[in-house]
Amino acid sequence: MKKIILSLICVVGISIAADKTSTFDVKGMMCGNGCVKKINRAMDSVDGIKSREVNFEKSSMMVTYDDQKVTDKMIVAALKENNYSCSLKEQPKKDSSVLSFFKNLFN
């Protein structure tokens, strides 16, 4: 019985924790080498970040992280501490499948 309860707790705990990927606009990068390295080091110092990809040309950064340990606000704050302005990039809103179906049907 104890094993079953422990197994259930583990399964529920695993299902609650999830990786999240967010894209950020990053302002203040002056070069594609030193600034990118500095941002990568700042992200490496935040516990819970799984991966990060900085794109100098697009002034953006994509971060995958454990949403139980890290929030978007913590990522923005970490970059602000390193003299970069950062904001969460707005994701385009997707139509629900039912709404898309009717739009396609009647357009």
Report if residue 77 sits inside a domain: yes
End-to-end CA distance of the chain: 58
pLDDT at position 40 is 96
| Domain count along the chain | 1
Q: What would the mean pLDDT of 26-34 be, rounded to a whole number?
A: 95
Tokens of 97: 């499948």
Q: Which residue has the tokens 């197994």?
A: 7
Query: CB of 49 within 8 A of CB of 78?
Result: no
Report if residue 53 sits inside a domain: yes
Express each pLDDT in 33-87 by its tens digit: 999 999 999 999 999 999 999 999 999 999 999 999 999 999 999 999 999 999 9
Report if residue 107 sits inside a domain: no
Nearest to 75 by CA among 85, 55, 3: 85
Report if residue 51 sits inside a domain: yes
Report if residue 16 sits inside a domain: no
Domain that holds residue 83: 22-89
Q: What does pTM read for this prediction?
A: 0.68
Express each pLDDT in 4-16 by its tens digit: 554 545 554 554 6
pLDDT at position 4 is 53
Report if residue 99 sits inside a domain: no
Specify the CATH number for the domain of residue 58: 3.30.70.100
pLDDT at position 18 is 87
Report if residue 52 sits inside a domain: yes
State the number of CA atoms in the 13 A half-sphere of 100 facing the CB.
Answer: 5
Report if residue 64 sits inside a domain: yes
pLDDT at position 6 is 46
